[in-house]
Every structure is written in C-alpha cells, then in structure tokens.
Structure 1
Amino acid sequence: MEMTFAMIKPNGVKSGLIGRILDRYTSARLSVVGLKLHQMTSEEARGFYAEHVNKPFFPELEAYMTKGPSVMIALAGENAIAAVRAINGATNPAKAEPGTLRYDFAPSMTENVVHSSDSPASAEREVAFWFKKEDLYEYEAASNKACTVLG
C-alpha cells in the first residue's frame, strides 16, 4: 500500500469544499490515514515550498497559503500518488480534464484548490512535514472490501 500527501488549500476550505474533495479521494478507494486543519505560517510555507523560495512567484504563493487554514491529508491505497494526481487534474485548471478537482473548482493556477505529492520521495517528505508518525493510522477501509447491499 502506497502513502501520499494531499492538501486542500485555503480557497478550497473557504469555499466549503472539504467534504466534496475528501469524498472524491475516498470514492477512489483511498484511505484517509492522517487529517488535520492547519493555518500555515510563513516559516512553514518557506519550508514546505523550499524549492520555490527564490522564484519570482513565491511571495504571492506564500501570501495565498498563509491567508487561511488548509486541510492536510495523508492518503493510502494502491497507486495512491498517481490516483490523487489524476483526481486533482493538471496544476493549471485551464488544462485540467473535465471531472477533475481543479477543472471543477479551481478559479486560477495560483488558487488551484489542491496540492498533491508528485513522487514517492515528495510523498514521504510531505507526509513527514505535516504529520508525526503517531498521527497516522493504518486500517482497511470498508470501501476496499466486497460489500453487499441490504434492503
């Protein structure tokens, strides 16, 4: 089972999309193994987005990411990294496929509603950045088992 990191950014939280976004992930047979609502500080933004700190767009990114709370999510499942990236869609909403989160909900590339890890190395780093090991839970989600409809 693979673990990955996803984040619902401040505009997704403010727009009331937490439940709808989590539903997309769990409907894809991914298990939420860590979850928290957190307002990123400037220091955390600089650490989390370290590779972008010296880029011209970083001040705008930092301001956006620290303006309100985000939802930090650790997800686990088969091919979790690829699955979350497919659900999220292209970083630029104008290039995202219909039915993806960014196509459906993102107003712009800067405010693209969600983030997700792009590789096993980034998934490991990003999960560890936001979660302590004791804050992550392993379980088999009911959606991963065969079920019978009663009634």
Structure 2
Amino acid sequence: MMGETPNQCGCDGHGHGAMAATRERSFIMIKPDGVQRGLVGEIIKRFEQKGFKLVALKFVWPTEDLLKKHYADLSDKPFFPALVKYMASGPVVPMVWEGLNVVKTGRVMLGATNPADSAPGTIRGDLCIQMGRNICHGSDSVESAKKEIGLWFTEKEVVGWSPANDCWVYED
C-alpha cells in the first residue's frame, strides 16, 4: 500500500529467524544486597540492552529450604550456613533470561564471583566491592540453568514470547 514504510529487517515479531532456533535460557538472581541497594533496574537494564529477553521474574523472600536446594552443590563448604542465612535475610529477584549464548555471556556480564577480580564494565566490577556481597547469581552452565529455573519457577511462570525487535538483535 502507498504510504506504508516497510520493516527494514523483515521482522514480523513472531520469532522467525535465528532466535526461533536458539532459545537458550539462564537463571539470574539479584541477591538481597542488590535489592537493598536499589540495583534491580540497573541489572535488568544491562541484560535488556545486551539484547536478551526476560521471560520470567519474581520478587520473593526465599526460605532456607529453597536456598539449601539451590546451593546444594556448596553444602560441604564451610561458608554454606552463612550463605544460606545471608540469602534468606531479605528479598531476592530471580529471573529467567533467554537468548543466544545467554549462559556464557551472562556470566561474563556479571563478572568474576570475587568483585576484586571483576573487570570494569561488568556488573560486579562496577557495582560491588566484596565477595560476600556480590549482588547477583548466574547459572554456570545450561544444565545448572535448567535445574535452577525448575527450582524457582513453574512452567506456567516462564513466558514464551517474541519481541518485535528480535530481527534487530539477531540476524537470520
């Protein structure tokens, strides 16, 4: 029709192209220190600006039982009781992010577990100082992400959707 401006990338917002075939998901959680410091928006902003898609989010005060399951792989470490107690000390923001290589890239965006080893430009490098207050958790593998997502979210809480800008983030 005359007067219509065609979509330059051919994007119809229905998930066609590279993203339709690549739906890797990662679990990212903002810890109590990140929530208390008002960093929720900043962390979400960084993942959105990178081009990742938010498919689940909660604001919850976790139970110690849930945290013990989440951190089960660390249960034999001497710091485990303090970690669980700290994580249960306030609300957290568990999220599921989706995108190409989101687990690996998300870890890079977060920075090293110890903020002192995190590069400037990373979330931890820019926003925190001490390992015991490193503001966020990120899945370390696709397998861990699946486990963590299943622990914190039901299937119905993870929303499948296609943003209209997929074609501006991913090429076919």
TM-score by length of 2: 0.82
In structure 2, the residue matched to 1:95 is 117
| One-letter identity of the residue aligned with 1:37 | F
Which residue in 1 is equivalent to 2:62? 40
**2:151 is matched with which residue: 124, 129, 135?**
129
Gaps of 5+ in 2: 1-22
* 2:30–2:40 CA contact under 8 A, matched in 1: yes
- Render the CA deviation track for 1:43-69: whole Å, top value 9, x for unaligned: 111111011122100121111100000
* Whole-angstrom CA distance in 2 between matches of 1:141 and 1:82: 22
Letter in structure 2 aligned against 1:33: V
Q: Any conservation in 1 of the 2:25–2:96 contact (CA below 8 Å)?
A: yes
Partner of 2:38: 16
Pair 47,58 (structure 1): closer, same or farther in 2 beyond 3 Å: same
Instruction: Report % sequence identity.
Output: 38
The residue that corresponds to 1:30 in the other structure is 52
In the alignment, is residue 118 of structure 1 matched against residue 136 of structure 2? no
Q: Spell out structure 1 runs of 4+ moving beyond 3 A.
A: none
**Structure 1 vs Structure 2 CA RMSD:** 1.3
Q: Which has the higher strand share?
A: 1
Query: Using a 3 Å threshold, how does the CA distance of structure 1 residues 43 and 17 change in structure 2: closer, same or farther?
Result: same
Give, in whole Å, the separation in 1 of the partners of 2:163 and 2:137: 23
1:19 offset after TM fit, Å? Answer: 0.5
Corresponding residue for 2:168?
146
Work out whether residues 29 and 143 of structure 1, in 8 Å CA contact, stay in contact via their aligned partners in 2: no
Q: Which amino acid aligns with 2:67?
A: A
Distance 2:153 2:140 in 1: 18
Name the CA distance, whole Å, in 2 between partners of 1:143 and 1:109: 36
1:80 to 81, 94, 102: 102
Offset of residue 144 of structure 1: 2.4
Q: 1:55 aligns with which of 69, 77, 88?
A: 77
Q: Give the CA deviation at 1:92.
A: 0.6
SS of 1:98's partner is coil
- Answer yes or no: is the 8 Å Cα contact 1:38–1:71 preserved in 2: yes
CA distance in 2, matches of 1:136, 1:72: 12
* Rg comparison, structure with higher value: 2
Mapped partners of 2:133, 2:86: distance in 1: 8
Q: What's the secondary structure of 2:25's corresponding residue? A: strand
